[in-house]
Structure 1
Amino acid sequence: MWALRRAADPLRSQGCRVGVSLAACSNFTVRSDYVKNAVDISEPAEWASGGCLLPKRFYHSPSSHLHLSLWSCGLSSQAGAKSSGDEEDSEDGFSELETPVNTDSIEESNTGEEVVEEVVSEPELSDLDSEEGLAEASQNELGLSDAEAGAADEESKKRSPGNLFKVIVNAQNIKSALSKWVEEGNHLGRSEISVAVLSLRRRRMYGKALQISEWLEENKQLNFVERDYASHLDLIAKVRGFQKAEQYIGKIPESMRGEIIYRTLLANCVAATNAKKAEEVFNKMRDLEFPITAFACNQLILLYKRLDKKKIADVLLLMEKENVKPTLFTYRVLIDTKGQSNDITGMEQVLETMKAEGIEPDIFTQSVLAKHYINAELIEKAEAVLKEMEGLNLKENRAACKSLLPLYAALGKADDVKRVWKTCESNPHLDECVAAIEAWGKLGKIAEAEAVFEKMSKIWKRLPSKNYTALLRVYANHKLLSKGKDLAKRMADSGCRIGPLTWDGLVKLYVEAGEVEKADSILQKAVQQSSLKPMFNSYIVILDQYAKRGDVHNAEKMFHRLKQAGYVGRLRQYQSLLQAYINAKTPAYGFRDRMKADNIFPNKAVAAQLAQVDAFKKTAISDLLD
């Protein structure tokens, strides 16, 4: 850990150090005077975020300070135009990146079987940002699905790979269907339930999974253990929000309220990007004297990666103090954080520290490295990583294909995209098809992208919406409005479920075609007609367009709708709204107070924007006239 924090020695010249006493006690809490007492920063105090995990007692002994320049202001100060705000564009879901390379998600087989659609939320496409992959990997770390898989014995998997699952998916009333299943004499033990719930989770059909859990609890069909309660809590948080999940904890028997219950709530607070609640839950775990785990620390690192990178230093210090070893996921997040901040040297040093600890990067981590090398225009280094991902035999290393396709496309290597796709083409997986469509789209080869889509249509009887949306986004990026409209009609005619991912594709299609008002109308109708929540990106692309026009009225309306949808605690929408005022050459009265009320604190870029719209700012002329 010491090596990890020392990895950014070159940043120390930037005048940003964090001093934390070695003598501090181990009881951690949230402190609002963090910057004032603990950080020496050459920036105005108003730029710093209040609230951080620090010891309750602080000793300012110069001889005992640790200088944590790696994860403090160096990250923020190095963020250039490329990374400023980009990591938040795609956050919700977070955001956001390609999903982890692990493809055991009950892969839609190549048998032409119908693919069951998502009913609660949809995954985002890989070209949005690395945030979604990290968020999904974070949820996998929670281990609830693994527990369900472990409980499902092999005999049950072979005997009933989908009988109960199919009944549940097709049922209008799941609780009645389960009661009927039992009445007809079918066995309903933990194994059958675990197989069904695992299948639903992997397809993100959380609403149906929650109804199963509720029926089991109401009918006392199973003797609930702590992990069952944690799974129920997780499903409530995903479907109804973490506030409802927090209320459910009070109904759990006290003897079952262990560490896994609170870490499940913590993970969902982080997924909702609610820093205040996440810190409260973390401190509650400390008060209950649960051991500090890598999972809990990883959640905080992931949270601060999105909201305030300077605070990552405190989590790393806590891990060192409590002797908590970083995991592969820890290093993934840190590597992506350094890459987003355009600190390639720091990213490489984290990677070396990771390898020195005996942890080798997986394909997902390698794809993150390659992506940041490409963004930094370090082509040779990117190509070296891609070659390492491929291995000696791409057919034997098939799992890498999904990541390789868009990365080669980003390098403009059409021949390599063609070569990798040829490996998959005879027996493609759905996620590989999506990646191929995106890759051909990036290269501007529309016909090739369409050919992949048509191949999918022939193999599978009914495609999931994300496959349609992949092509829809290609049309949007190339301003092919007519083709996009035809594809949307085809999608509707096929009976495909229309959800947040599709809405996002349609919004982007019309925005790129210059029809912002139409995109706004589509999004508004979607909210009115469905209980599903649109993606953060869907709102922000429209808000950005109003900001470019200097249309403060409509920008404020879109900003308000973002908050109504539950997207709070993010700096990104404030940046866009401020830009609307700047372009309109209109002062933004009380904007700092608005941000403070939402517990949002400006970074350098936003502070500069605030200065431009300050109605009371002093100039050389105003000083003379005064």
Structure 2
Amino acid sequence: MWALRRASIPLRNRGVSIGISRVSCAKLEMPSPGIEEDKAGTFESPQEAYDRHPNLKRFYRTARGSSNVFVVRHNFSLQAGAKSSGEEDELEDGFSELEMPSIAVKNQDGNVEDESDDELISEPELSDDGVDIEEPSHKELELLDTETNPSEKKAFKKRAQSALFNAILAAPGFSVHNALDKWVEEGHDLSRAEITLTVTNLRKRRMYGRALQLSEWLEANKRLDFVERDYASRLDLIAKVRGLQKAESYIVKIPKSFRGEVIYRTLLANCAVATNIKKAEDIFNKMKDLGFPISSFACNQLLLLYKRMDKKKIADVLLLMEKENVKPTLFTYKLLIDTKGQSNDITGMDQIVQTMKSEGIEPDINTQAILVKHYTSGGLKEKAEAILKEMEGDNLIKDRWVCQVLLPLYAQLGKADDVSRIWKVCESSPRIHECMAAIDAWGKLKKIEEAEAVFDRMSKTWKKLSSRHYSVLLKVYANHKMLAKGKDLVKRMGDSGCRIGPLTWDALVKLYVEAGEVEKADSILQKATQQNQMRPMFSSYLAIMEQYAKMGDIHNSEKAFHRMRQAGYVGRLRQFQALIQAYINAKAPAYGMRERMKADNVFPNRALVGQLVHVDAFRKTAVSDLLD
């Protein structure tokens, strides 16, 4: 039995409170499913709550039967503090599950590699080439399995690329099958280890289409004996390239003997990535119906989804985990800590950390970075500095891998001297991730020349830079409205033959939006989507939409909203907030807006309710009453 200490106290004077319940035999306070405190401090009935969320009736069937639950008035830190301004936002895609950059960690050989949390699911559209953030559960989905011998595994770790990967990379986009046929004809290696390494490199570069073609060719030509994880890898790629519906249809084609838990949890993870609450809940219920045990992985996907879309449901998942005796993982605690921080509930955040430690789970470097971020935002600079010193340790030269984490965090605190001190540790022989972190840090400190100097150093050290590396400096220019320098940098990218993808488009869009040229930003994004098969980032669309909203341009705001839906971004609060703001600024009524939100399963928070009042075509005012 596990428990989280009481995470918050009633702070009704600070904003909206969500009433929840507490399990009496444990310290974890969670809501009795279906019981919710409204703004007036009353509770709606369980039946009313379940009618409002009909898809949760089966989902919480087991938890509702708990006899050890009694209702108390308190909250799970969903009140609106000064930081959140009463809005359930923080939903921008392109980040990781915790909306933070993935943090590099040391592998067994002492080298730095990207952190790969088993349960960390991040957005698939971040970039076209090697983004730090890991994507859905590589350890769970890769083709490498236990049959691979130790020598192959060792070779897999040591080689950064493979000849097969280079051959696929050199082939035109839709001729991967031809390249593979030629590869076999020439008698080259096609072992499982080689295939695994190739798929890994393709995934890291977000080349999901090519990875899918490779998987299809392997099965069609019977070059690999597929096991469940191979089918799961294919399913994951189909979801990314062709969408959830095609992925779900593929499941029936998988031999029944291989249609196990890994298959369904892969689909569940992609539902979380797509922020499709209904489909995710359906898949979760399907897994229960098939007799699969409720795992921490599955619960974490729901927590991640609800953290982004509907924080009120987080406590219901925790109640289910308590009932089913599902132990929280480090990732579970990260989600809860970050949710508390976003709600500006620092006390509750600290209590979750204490609970985590009492359960024998120590905060990793990523968790510590999350704490620093929220302490800084909350004005608790001393607490943030204390954690940074702990992260830094006694020997930064020995633990140099942590430098890339410290640089932007010290910059967020405004500590230019510390940024300079940390950079000096790296400056003599910088690594590329350290350079990127330094550029970001100097940009936050508004020291553009220092950021440019690091970029020049990076471009001289590594002759072939990717769009990800250019995008770091491009974002600095965008944040400081330096349009001319941004244009020059993009031209430099093109001249170098750099492949430009969603990450670069996002920086370009923000560059032009910040410079007041929203039409140009819109044009760039439209051309990019027409010329490429990659999906732009959510934040790219939103930046354009919000700018049109400020101008009161309803027509273009609606067009941006429609294009987001076409790209697969389902309706969420941030989109509707921007769209409604366009109507407010245009002083025009928004007919049917509540019905549109209901159709998208979007429930307004207090800020959005306030917006809706202003665009209600049938709103009664003192003047309208007189005229009537």
Same fold (TM over 0.5): yes
- Does the aligned pair in 1 maintain the 2:2–2:327 contact within 8 Å? no
1:42 paired to 2:44:
no
Tell whether the 8 Å contact from 1:47 to 1:601 is kept in structure 2 after alignment. Answer: no
Kept in 1, the 8 Å contact 2:89–2:573? The answer is no
8 A contact 1:301–1:312 mirrored in 2: yes
Are 1:144 and 2:141 an aligned pair?
Answer: yes
Distance 1:149 1:435 in 2: 36
Distance in 1 between residues matched to 2:468 and 2:146, nearest whole Å = 26
| Whole-Å separation in 1 of the counterparts to 2:202 and 2:403 | 26
Query: CA, structure 1 residues 535+443, in 2 after alignment: closer, same or farther (shift >3 Å)?
Result: same
| Displacement of 1:147 | 4.5
Which is bigger in relative contact order (C-alpha 8 A, separation at least 6)?
1
**Structure 1 counterpart SS, 2:90:** helix
Is the alpha carbon distance of 1:76 and 1:305 closer, same or farther for their aligned partners in structure 2, counting shifts above 3 Å?
farther
Please tell me whether the aligned partners of residues 226 and 257 of structure 1 are also in contact (alpha carbons under 8 angstroms).
yes
**Corresponding residue SS for 2:137:** helix
Any conservation in 1 of the 2:11–2:79 contact (CA below 8 Å)?
A: no
Partner in structure 2 of residue 295 of structure 1: 297
CA distance in structure 1 between the aligned counterparts of 2:448 and 2:11, rounded to whole angstroms:
44
Q: Does 1:163 align with 2:166?
A: no
Q: Which runs of 4+ in 1 moved over 6 A?
A: 12-15, 20-23, 44-49, 57-63, 92-95, 103-109
Matches of 1:366 and 1:164, distance apart in 2: 39
Q: Counterpart in 1 of 2:204?
A: 202
Deviations 1:515-540 (CA, angstroms, capped at 9, x unpaired): 11111111111122212111111111
Q: Secondary structure at the match of 1:304?
A: helix
2:545 corresponds, among 543, 564, 572, to 543
Q: Distance in 2 between matches of 1:170 and 1:345?
A: 54
Correspondence for 1:17 among 16, 19, 41: 19
- In the alignment, is residue 98 of structure 1 matched against residue 110 of structure 2? no
Matches for 1:167-246 after TM superposition, within 5 Å: 167-172=167-172, 173-246=175-248
Alignment counterpart, residue 84 of structure 1, candidates 77, 84, 87: 87
Q: What TM-score does the superposition give when structure 2 sets the normalisation length?
A: 0.87
Is the partner of 2:20 in helix, strand or coil?
A: strand
Shift in CA distance, 148/202, structure 1 to aligned 2, threshold 3 Å: farther
Query: Structure 1's 156 and 477: CA in aligned 2 closer, same or farther, altered over 3 A?
Result: closer
- Give CA-to-partner distance per residue, 1:331-376, whole Å, 9 cap, x none: 0111111101111111111111101100001111111100011111
Contact 2:24 2:68 in 1 (8 A): no
- 1:292 and 1:83 map into 2 onto residues whose CA distance is 33
Alignment pair present for 1:594 and 2:599: no
Task: Check whether the contact 2:142–2:230 (CA below 8 A) recurs between aligned residues.
Answer: no
Does structure 1 conserve the Cα–Cα contact (< 8 Å) formed by 2:143 and 2:196? no
Match of 1:555 in 2: 557
Q: Is the 8 A contact 2:338 2:370 kept in 1?
A: yes
Q: Which residue of 2 aligns with 1:405?
A: 407
For each residue in 1:145-176, what CA deviation from the matched residue of structure 2 results, as whole angstroms up to 9, or x when unmatched?
Answer: 49469844225666895222222222233222
Q: 1:97 to 1:262 in 2, by over 3 A?
A: same
Cα drift, residue 377 of structure 1: 1.0
Q: Report what 2:117 is aligned to.
A: none
Count, aligned residues: 597
What residue in structure 2 maps to residue 572 of structure 1? 574
Match of 1:511 among 510, 513, 524: 513
Matches of 1:232 and 1:60 in 2, distance apart? 38
Superposition deviation, residue 453 in structure 1:
0.8
Query: Which amino acid is 1:65 matched to?
Result: F
Q: Indicate the residue corresponding to 1:7 in structure 2.
A: 7
Query: SS at 1:323's partner residue?
Result: coil
Task: Summarize the Cα distance change of 1:405–1:47 in structure 2 as closer, same or farther, 3 Å threshold.
Answer: farther
* CA pair 85-459 structure 1, distance change in 2 beyond 3 A: farther
Match of 1:348 in 2: 350
The correspondence of residues 250-329 of structure 1 with structure 2, limited to 5 A, is 250-329=252-331
Q: Cα gap change, 1:454/1:83 in structure 2, threshold over 3 Å: closer, same or farther?
A: farther
Equivalent residue in structure 2 for 1:446, among 448, 459, 477: 448
- SS of equivalent to 2:78: helix
Name the amino acid aligned to 2:314: I
Query: TM-score by structure 1 length?
Result: 0.87
CA–CA distance in 1 between the matches of 2:471 and 2:488? 12
Partner Cα separation in structure 1 for residue 397 and residue 143 of structure 2: 28
Question: Counterpart amino acid of 2:621?
Answer: T
Is 1:358 equivalent to 2:360 in the alignment? yes
Contact 2:554–2:582 (Cα < 8 Å) also in 1:
yes
The percent of aligned pairs where both chains have the same amino acid is 60
Mapped partners of 1:533, 1:485: distance in 2: 22
Q: Which amino acid aligns with 1:55?
A: Y
| Correspondence for 2:487 | 485
The answer as to whether partners of 1:174 and 1:212 remain within 8 angstroms in 2 is yes
Q: 1:288 to 1:189 in 2, by over 3 A?
A: same
Query: Which residue of structure 2 aligns with residue 115 of structure 1?
Result: none
RMSD: 3.3
* Structure 2 contact 341–349 (Cα < 8 Å) conserved: yes
Structure 2: runs of 5+ lacking an equivalent: 26-30, 114-123
User: What do the CA deviations read for 1:17-45 (whole angstroms, capped 9, x no partner)?
Assistant: 3359999xxxxxxxxxx999532333698
Deviation at 1:179, TM superposition (A): 2.4
SS of equivalent to 2:101: coil
* Structure-2 separation of matches of 1:433 and 1:618: 58
